[in-house]
């Protein structure tokens, strides 16, 4: 019964499926008309319970089917005893929470009923040794034969906020937004989604690729590159059997839409852990770093930095050129940011005379009178937005790095009804800033309904993104 409508070694080349359009499989995965959960269970500790609960809890609008050999009622749904009992065309996505030995026949039965995509949460495949590798190869071959897009195995699931779909075996469900996530580790998907919940900067799609047997990280990135709901792709990878093929595929994708990558297995110890985790093969870290730069991919060093980079792309326009002004209330932060800019392709813009004169009229004589623009204690509730607007709207300024406004954000928080002016920016002016300051002022009514921008708690997040960005000019 349904609720009524209301790695083994990663193959990097996309594998065409006989008689199917690859986009049809991704549509079924991320925008399904109906969803079946195979292995549904009334036991709260089972994957089949958690996956079904998440789908129902987050109000997926299409029909939902529970499949369980026992035929028991699960979360208010009378379970089907077999996938053969699915109505024709009733579900185009199946979330598989059944033992590996049952999955080949399950796929055959689901495909016969019109299922076009299967997410397999089951572990014990390529990451578990020779027998698991054989089982994974058979699963992949059968999915290919049937024309079913195979996601996983050994993955935690997926979310798609445009479809109100939370088909995963873990808890976080982020707010809707423009970041699309793919990860070889399910826990990193959860980490990124928790950052989305914390910051309010949301997610469009997220998928735990698991062993990526048939559908690989580049396959998901290719889908995201054409996805109108997505502004930036965020990926975690552990290893690459063919680094050249990987970068050949993602280079043109990065030219169309920003890609941020976090890589595990950078050290010998990490590489060994990755091999036992998803069966991933390590790639030389220095070579990987250089290949990212050549491909125009942003490589992040930490989980937080990766999310902040993606969040910046999702909420801020790309700079129209390399000329940067650093705008700060903390002199030391301005100094180290200027140092970082000097080691990048960006330019620390000599302050134009007309802009210096405008700032002179609004700031105390002790301000730096140069770039970085160090306000030197002259910042107030009025001078911060007023001077920032002067800087951001100047025709010679392509981007502003905005640092150290935490004290003033606290002032704004204490005066929630104080009138304020939103910052107006010229088209193409990129602005980075301190996350807490932006969140606090957003809550205090200093900014309109626009989402708060990202930033490291010490004010360095967008600065790092800007100075590491391979291409900042608009085409």
Sign, CA dihedral 223-225-226-228, equals: positive
CA separation for the pair 281, 409 (Å, rounded): 46
CA separation for the pair 90, 33 (Å, rounded): 8
Q: Give residue-wise pLDDT tens across range 132-183.
A: 999 999 999 999 999 999 999 999 999 999 999 999 999 899 999 999 999 9
Return the structure tokens found at 230: 């997505």
Taking each helix axis as running N to C, give the angle between helix 331-342 and helix 461-468, from 0 to 180 degrees, rounded to the nearest 10: 20
What is the per-residue pLDDT for 70?
95
Taking each helix axis as running N to C, give the angle between helix 217-225 and helix 22-30, from 0 to 180 degrees, rounded to the nearest 10: 90
pLDDT in 10s for each residue of the chain, 475 residues: 555 433 333 444 444 444 457 789 999 999 999 999 999 999 999 999 999 999 999 999 999 999 999 999 999 999 999 999 999 999 999 999 999 999 999 999 999 999 999 999 999 999 999 999 999 999 999 999 999 999 999 999 999 999 999 999 998 999 999 999 999 999 999 999 999 999 999 999 999 999 999 999 999 999 999 999 999 999 999 878 888 999 999 999 999 999 999 999 765 654 555 455 444 445 678 889 999 999 999 999 999 999 999 999 999 888 889 999 999 988 898 999 999 999 888 999 999 999 999 999 999 899 999 999 998 877 777 788 899 999 999 999 999 998 876 555 555 555 444 444 444 444 344 545 444 333 333 333 332 333 344 443 434 455 556 665 554 444 3
By CB atoms closer than 10 A (0-12, 13-18, 19+), residue 241 is middle
| CA angle centred on 242, ends 122 and 254, rounded to 5° | 90
Taking each helix axis as running N to C, give the angle between helix 243-256 and helix 285-295, from 0 to 180 degrees, rounded to the nearest 10: 30
DSSP letter at 469 equals -
Q: How many CB atoms lie within 10 A of CB 428?
A: 14
By CB atoms closer than 10 A (0-12, 13-18, 19+), residue 348 is buried
- Supply the DSSP string of 253-278, one letter for each residue: HHHHS-EEEEE---SHHHHHHHHHHH
Task: Tell me which residue has tokens 């003033």.
Answer: 408
Return the structure tokens found at 389: 């607007």
Domain 2-312 and domain 317-468 have a common topology: yes
Homologous superfamily assigned to 2-312:
Succinyl-CoA synthetase domains (3.40.50.261)
| Residues contacting residue 42 through CB under 8 Å, at least 6 positions apart | 49, 72, 73, 74, 75
| Residues contacting residue 194 through CB under 8 Å, at least 6 positions apart | 172
CA separation for the pair 334, 371 (Å, rounded): 9
Query: Domain extents for the chain?
Result: 2-312, 317-468
The CATH classification number of 317-468 equals: 3.40.50.261
Q: What is the pTM of this model?
A: 0.81
């Amino acid at each position: 019964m349904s609720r009524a409508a209301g790695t083994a070694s990663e193959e990097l080349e996309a594998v065409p499926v006989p008689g199917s359009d690859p986009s049809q499989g991704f549509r079924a995965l991320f925008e399904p008309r109906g969803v079946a959960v195979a292995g549904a269970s009334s036991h709260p500790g089972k994957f089949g319970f958690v996956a079904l609960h998440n789908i129902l809890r987050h109000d997926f609008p299409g029909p939902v089917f529970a499949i369980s050999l026992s035929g028991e009622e699960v979360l208010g749904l009378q379970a089907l005893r077999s996938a053969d009992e699915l109505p024709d065309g009733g579900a185009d996505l199946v979330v598989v929470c059944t033992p590996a030995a049952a999955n080949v026949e399950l796929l055959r039965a689901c495909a016969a009923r019109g299922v076009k995509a299967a997410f397999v949460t089951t572990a014990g495949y390529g990451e578990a040794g020779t027998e698991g590798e054989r089982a994974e190869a058979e699963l992949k071959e059968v999915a290919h034969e049937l024309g079913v897009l195979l996601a996983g195995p050994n993955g935690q699931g997926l979310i798609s906020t445009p479809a109100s779909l939370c088909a995963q075996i873990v808890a976080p469900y982020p707010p809707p937004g423009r970041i699309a996530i793919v990860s070889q580790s399910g826990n990193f998907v959860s980490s990124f989604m928790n950052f989305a919940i914390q910051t309010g900067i949301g997610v469009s799609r997220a998928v735990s690729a698991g062993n990526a047997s048939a559908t690989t990280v580049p396959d998901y990135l290719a889908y995201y590159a054409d996805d109108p709901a997505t502004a930036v792709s965020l990926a975690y990878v552990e290893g690459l059997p063919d680094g050249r093929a990987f970068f050949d595929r993602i280079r043109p994708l990065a030219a169309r839409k920003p890609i941020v990558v976090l890589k595990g297995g950078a050290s010998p110890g990490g590489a060994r852990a990755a091999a036992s985790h998803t069966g991933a093969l390590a790639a030389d870290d220095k070579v990987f770093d250089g290949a990212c730069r050549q491909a125009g991919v942003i490589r992040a060093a930490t989980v937080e930095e990766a999310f902040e980079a993606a969040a910046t792309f999702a909420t801020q326009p790309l700079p129209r050129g390399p000329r940067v002004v650093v705008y700060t209330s903390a002199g030391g932060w301005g100094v180290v940011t200027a140092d970082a800019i000097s080691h990048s392709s960006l330019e620390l813009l000599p302050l134009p005379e007309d802009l210096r004169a405008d700032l002179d009229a609004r700031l105390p004589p002790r301000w730096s009178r140069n770039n970085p623009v160090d306000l030197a204690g002259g910042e107030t509730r009025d001078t911060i937005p007023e001077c920032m607007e002067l800087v951001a709207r100047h025709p010679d300024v392509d981007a502003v790095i905005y640092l150290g406004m935490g004290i003033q954000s606290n002032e704004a928080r204490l005066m929630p009804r104080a009138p304020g002016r939103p910052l107006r920016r010229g088209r193409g002016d990129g602005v980075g800033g301190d996350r807490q300051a932006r969140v606090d002022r957003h809550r205090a009514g200093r900014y309109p309904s626009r989402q708060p921008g990202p930033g490291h708690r010490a004010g360095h997040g967008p600065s790092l993104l800007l100075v590491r960005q391979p291409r900042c000019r608009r085409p």
